[in-house]
Structure 1
Amino acid sequence: MGKSRTKNNSDFLVAGRRLGPMLYTGTMAAVVLGGASTVGGVGLGYKFGVSGMWLVVAIGSGVLLLSLLFAGTIQRLKIYTVSQMLSLRYGQRATQTSGIVMLAYTLMLCATSTGAYATIFVVLFGWERWLAIAVGGAIVLVYSTIGGMWSITLADQVQFIIKTVGIFFLMLPFVLNAAGGFDGIRARVDASFFQLDGIGAQTIITYFVVYTLGLLIGQDIWQRVFTAKTPKVARWGGATAVSTASCTASPAH
């Protein structure tokens, strides 16, 4: 489907800049509901209790700030990359520095996503971790290359629906029932499980520095902002996505 919608460079890079509220909200929500927040978040919740939620809070805060403060302006520029925007203000030389920063941030981001889908493949199929990473990476590379941003957008919709149904409507009630409700959970875990700072102040600060500030300048999130049909869609679609995705991701912790 993504390939059939891709007719030119604009379609490939930014989905023709024609995503309406529904598609745009879904693709932005998928950012908040990525592997770091779901697979990683479940692990943090199991290990540190409710304080594991700070990872999702940091990611959601970054998307929310970007949407409310910058998304409208970014959408009006009709550009394709972060470096392109910096060159408009600071000249061509700024693109080199921004490219290095983007590379470092993207590598850190890819590490969390790669680790998430590799973990799923290892658990489901018993593969070696290197094989799980290679297969998952190949799948992402193929569908992204074939259909560009349209393929990514449509994949985001599927991801958002599956994770919303899976976490909120299946995992949460089954887990609560198996644990004997919230009272059963309280009886089985230490009091530290419910401490908001149980994961450590330093770790919480690190999440906000890496994810909240990182999302404000990340090419991966800007690429999605570029797809919005109007500045209003970019601004309020992103804010709605954060609210929806945060409610969905919270039970995972």
Structure 2
Amino acid sequence: MTLALLLAYAAALIFIGWWSSRRATAADFFVAGRRLSPALLAGTLIAANIGAGSTVGAAGLGYRDGIAAWWWVGSAGLGSMVLALVVGPRIWRIAADQDHRTLGDYLKSRFGDDVRALMAVLLWCGSLAILSAQLIALAGLLETVAGVPRTWGCVIGGVVATLYFAAGGLLSSAAVNAVQAIVLVAGLALALPAAWPSSGLHAALPPSVPSDYWHPFSGGSSGVMYLALLGPSFIVSPGLLQKVYGARDARAVRIGVLVNAGVLLAFAAIPPLLGMLARVSHPSLPNHELALPMLLRDDLPPWLGGLALAALFSAEVSTADAVLFMLSTSLARDLYAGHLRPAATQAEQLRVVRVAAVVSGTIGVAIAIWAGSIVRTMGLFYSVLSAGLFVPVVAGLFARRAGRVQALAAMIAGAVTTAVLQIATVGAGIAGVAPVVWGLLASATALGVALLVRR
């Protein structure tokens, strides 16, 4: 019964995507015709930002580490505030004036083709990790709650996201995401009071919880350090910036992204608390990332468990379509039209972007079937993306003397340093500092040295 309801919900999402994009053009696919209102922009950003890591992953961190897991989603909210007030309106004006449709278009106009090509490579390598993370979470959810084999869970999520996104790109995604955002926030928000013990959470927790379980800034491996890992990604993420391009004006950017930031900051406490509640009734789970699926299956009334399950399904699928958006539009615009066939027409780009969406979805499903941890997989994506793109994008907006050589030096130094330290230290970093922080420092240093040499 649960699986049938989920499949019906998935079919409804596909229908909404198809209906809203029956006459989609290339401009609709890439930037929704630049007519997203503040409400639609906020909805599509919320749906993109609340995914596997923000729900299943954050609840698992709450189960293991306590309330400090707030920083996993809270860091995204703080980064979104910077996007709303500083970066977003400025880059939207440039995109509207010069008809930019991807972040690669901006990097090309500011630094040249080489920088755009390198960004596209980083994007493809990193984004496939986050796409697989969404499908891993969805597969684990369907396996725990509905008994669906893990492989088929990955396939179901990949097919649903690919079908409604490929219908119309950002135009169809924005309509579907508005429904998904309402379902996912309402479903998990209602689950919290229903699972809350009458004696209070603090009293009901088993004595085996760590001593820092209620420390707001640091508990276990979670805490304020997530701000360095995640915050920059939500300022310069190519997928989020391309959604910002779709706003109808700079005011819509400020309001829509700020609403998204406010929702993220408020929502950030819900998954960790649900994970902590799961520790009350399931104190010995072999895998902490099972906390939320087990809570939905065993500790909620059937109707509410079904709604929360639909919320999680929405979360995983909506973020998967956001990643497909980044991957397919970057391939069609930055690689195909930018390098392989500069004279490509709008119709050709539209065909390529749809084929790229299908190929990306297929590769993401294959990686999800093979890969493991949700949080580890997403951490890899955020680290590489932040270290490789944050400094060049911000320097392009605010440092006039930064050029092609400086941007390339910053991107290469940041990405290579982060990747090497991630592999060499298994993510632990050096001197207690995460690899992504060293990567950002290396990127900023490379930019500064290149500017001095030029001068």
Common fold by TM > 0.5: yes
In 2, the alpha carbon distance for the partners of 1:98 and 1:72 equals 22
Matched, 1:132 2:153: yes
Q: Indicate conservation of the 8 Å contact 1:81/1:219, yes or no.
A: yes
1:87 corresponds in structure 2 to: 108
Q: Structure 1 residues 154 and 13 mapped into 2: Cα distance closer, same or farther (>3 Å)?
A: same
In 1, the alpha carbon distance for the partners of 2:49 and 2:198 equals 27
Matched, 1:243 2:235: no
Q: Indicate conservation of the 8 Å contact 1:26/1:160, yes or no.
A: yes
1:200 is matched with which residue: 221, 228, 247? 221
User: 1:56-96 CA deviation, whole Å, 9 max, x = no partner?
Assistant: 12222222222221111222213111111000011122111
Matched, 1:101 2:126: no
Which amino acid letter does the alignment assign opposite residue 234 of structure 2?
L
1:173 is matched with which residue: 186, 190, 193? 193
2:182 is matched with which residue: 137, 149, 161? 161
Matched, 1:60 2:77: yes
- Identity of paired residues, percent? 26
In 2, the alpha carbon distance for the partners of 1:57 and 1:218 equals 16
Q: Which of structures 1 and 2 has the larger relative contact order (alpha carbons within 8 angstroms, sep 6+)?
A: 1
In 2, the alpha carbon distance for the partners of 1:34 and 1:212 equals 16
- The alpha carbon displacement at 1:234 in A equals 0.8
In 2, the alpha carbon distance for the partners of 1:151 and 1:121 equals 25
Q: Indicate conservation of the 8 Å contact 1:72/1:234, yes or no.
A: yes
Matched, 1:232 2:247: no
Matched, 1:16 2:33: yes
- The alpha carbon displacement at 1:187 in A equals 7.0
Larger radius of gyration: 2
User: 1:155-180 CA deviation, whole Å, 9 max, x = no partner?
Assistant: 22122111221122x2111122x352
Unaligned runs of 5+ in 2: 1-15, 273-455
TM-score, structure 2 as length reference: 0.51
Q: After the TM superposition, which of the residue ranges 76-85 and 108-117 deviates more from structure 2? A: 108-117
- After superposition, where does 1:106-125 map in structure 2 within 5 Å? 106-125=127-146
In 2, the alpha carbon distance for the partners of 1:204 and 1:122 equals 32
1:222 is matched with which residue: 236, 241, 244? 241
In 1, the alpha carbon distance for the partners of 2:198 and 2:268 equals 19
Question: Any idea what SS the aligned residue of 1:46 has?
Answer: helix
Question: Any idea what SS the aligned residue of 1:34 has?
Answer: coil
User: 1:94-129 CA deviation, whole Å, 9 max, x = no partner?
Assistant: 111111221233123223322222222212322222
Q: Indicate conservation of the 8 Å contact 1:5/1:11, yes or no.
A: no
Which amino acid letter does the alignment assign opposite residue 165 of structure 2?
S
In 1, the alpha carbon distance for the partners of 2:198 and 2:62 equals 15
In 1, the alpha carbon distance for the partners of 2:67 and 2:126 equals 27
- The alpha carbon displacement at 1:211 in A equals 2.4
In 2, the alpha carbon distance for the partners of 1:113 and 1:199 equals 24
- The alpha carbon displacement at 1:192 in A equals 2.3
1:148 corresponds in structure 2 to: 169
1:2 is matched with which residue: 2, 17, 22? 17
Q: Structure 1 residues 59 and 235 mapped into 2: Cα distance closer, same or farther (>3 Å)?
A: same
- The alpha carbon displacement at 1:190 in A equals 4.8
Q: Structure 1 residues 173 and 88 mapped into 2: Cα distance closer, same or farther (>3 Å)?
A: same
In 1, the alpha carbon distance for the partners of 2:78 and 2:124 equals 22
In 1, the alpha carbon distance for the partners of 2:230 and 2:236 equals 10
